[in-house]
Structure 1
Amino acid sequence: MAEPSRETIVRAQQGDQQALTELIISQQHYVYSIAMSVLKNADDAADLTQEAFIRLFRTLPQYNGESRFTTWLYRLVINLCRDELRRRGRQVAIVPPATDDEELDALQTIADNDRLIDPAQSLDLSQLRIEVRRALEQLEPHYRLVLTLYYFEDLKYTDIAEILDLPLNTVKSHIRRGKERLAQLLHTTEPPATRVVEQAVRKTPDEQMLQITPLRLLPGWGRR
């Protein structure tokens, strides 16, 4: 995950078009992946990605640096996904609250920091990417979303908890159980390596995203 520099953010807040473009280029795959993990439809995810950047440009002056920029942005995306599901009449929470079992089972809340576990040796890299993508699509929505956030390497447990507005122990539990479910779906005892999951949750060659620019989204924004 690419965290924009403070200089880029300040320039973007001042209306610098190049800085706004840099923000989009560095974040569009992550935003799309989060939207896709919730909406499970490429067109819907692309539309929400564009809406997320429109909303970003309108609210960017409000960002005060109290949290990481990516944490602030991804929470905005999650809120837009919630709004979209609510608009469709679906009241199901994106990520359910912790159950009593999760709260009481201390083993489930132990942080699992090993992102580089080797995948099953029986699958080559390209085949594994296909299998991981299929497995992710079969996961329960909250596991799919938490693992999508988790495998962006720099996104820490505390960041995920803030983005999803969940207790830290719940995030740890969902990640651990999600990785276990992913391994089960892959018919292996070990979760796939980080680089494979990252490639699986981002866009694939047949799902090319439109290159969105600030000028196309909000003409004249920088002159306000």
Structure 2
Amino acid sequence: MTTSDTFSEITSELIALAVDGDRRAVEKIVRTLQKPIYGVAVRMLLDRVDAEDATQEALIRIITRLAQYRGEAKFSTWAWRIAVRRILDFREERTAAAQRTFDAFANDLAQGRDDEAVPRPEDELLHRQLKVVCSRAMLQCLDGDHRIAFILGEILGFSSDEAAEVLEIEAAAFRKRLSRARTALVEFLSRTCGVFDAKAPCACHRRLDRAITLGRVKRDDLEVRPEEGRNLPGLQAHLSTLSEMHRLTAYYRSDPDPMSKRDFVVTLRTMIHQYKEPPS
């Protein structure tokens, strides 16, 4: 099931109740939308606070425009179009931060790398967290058009027709962007990342001390959980059995779904008009 399929929980009846001011209907819509929208925002923007702000603003726009939804397109397409447009606008507002390049990122990975380090079992969760941080940072080396195409098509599994409709471009143009993004990431991962290709020089245990020093990994702020996914040696072994493009998909989908610490329902209650209590 793709992320867009989860929006099937939002029925026309639920939308009508929300438009009429039913607070519980509004909250159900927000709770359904907040996780997938935040997942796109944090991959597009990297900074978690920026991602939460962009998600919040996207949710407000969707909720306050529900009465404008006429059913000409699927609700998921309509909602994603609003959310993606706000996230892209938010990114443009943050352009003071220069876009990374793959070469600059490769240099950053090489700095402070300890080639004598050995993996310690007690650091397994830290290694997995560093892989998550690194894979998201790598996306910042793509420009915005190619980044959102990769996130929608490769990570979230949208079809080219669905993604093109959300982005309001031709399906052929979307496929071209997605192909270019895949090619760039595969090339970079193949020459740098030891998880993706065992022959590459960078490994999470060789970068961990540097990442902790720079504050990129914090022991008390981990998104990964012991029960979620494979450890890195297991993931590396699995990836080695796949073709390059399937390996890229598995590499990114092995990360846990991004989770925000912000409760958007609580926040939105104070920012949009109060909804009527539903009849008991």
Using the size of structure 2 for normalisation, the TM-score is 0.56
- In 2, are the aligned partners of 1:38 and 1:145 still within 8 Å (CA)? yes
Match of 1:34 among 40, 43, 50: 40
- Number of the residue aligned with 1:49: 55
Q: Residue 170 of structure 1: CA displacement? A: 0.8
Cα shift at 1:82: 4.4
Ranges in structure 1 where 5+ consecutive residues have no aligned partner: 91-124
Separation of aligned partners in 2, 1:53 and 1:18: 15
Q: Deviations over 1:167-222 (max 9, x none)?
A: 11010111122222222222156134656524648426xxx330111423324134
Structure 2 residue identity aligned to 1:174:
R
Of 159, 164, 168, the residue aligned with 1:161 is: 164
Structure 2 Cα separation of the partners of residues 200 and 193 of structure 1:
12
Q: 2:177 aligns with which of 171, 174, 177?
A: 174
Partner of residue 209, structure 1: 261
Q: Write the letter of the residue equivalent to 2:156.
A: F
State the number of aligned residues. 185
- How far, CA to CA, are the matches of 1:201 and 1:185 in structure 2? 22
The AA in structure 1 aligned to 2:82 is L
Structure 2 residue 147 is the aligned partner of structure 1 residue 144: yes
State the identity as a percent: 23
- Equivalent positions of 1:1-224 (< 5 A) are 1=3, 2-3=6-7, 4-6=9-11, 7-84=13-90, 126=128, 129=132, 132-150=135-153, 151-153=155-157, 155-187=158-190, 188=197, 190-191=244-245, 192=247, 194=249, 197-198=252-253, 200=255, 202-203=257-258, 208-213=260-265, 214-222=268-276
Between Structure 1 and Structure 2, whose CA radius of gyration is higher?
2
Pair 199,14 (structure 1): closer, same or farther in 2 beyond 3 Å: farther
Q: Distance in 2 between matches of 1:199 and 1:59?
A: 35
Root mean square deviation, CA, Å: 3.0
SS in structure 1 of the partner of residue 264 of structure 2? coil
Q: CA deviation at 1:44?
A: 1.7
Length-normalised TM-score, structure 1: 0.68
What is the SS of the residue equivalent to 2:31?
helix
Per-residue deviation, 1:157:
1.2
What residue in structure 2 maps to residue 103 of structure 1?
none
In the alignment, structure 2 segments of 5+ residues that lack a partner are 97-126, 191-196, 198-242
Question: What is the letter of the counterpart of residue 190 of structure 1?
Answer: E
Q: How far did 1:89 drift?
A: 7.7
Deviation at 1:40, TM superposition (A): 3.5
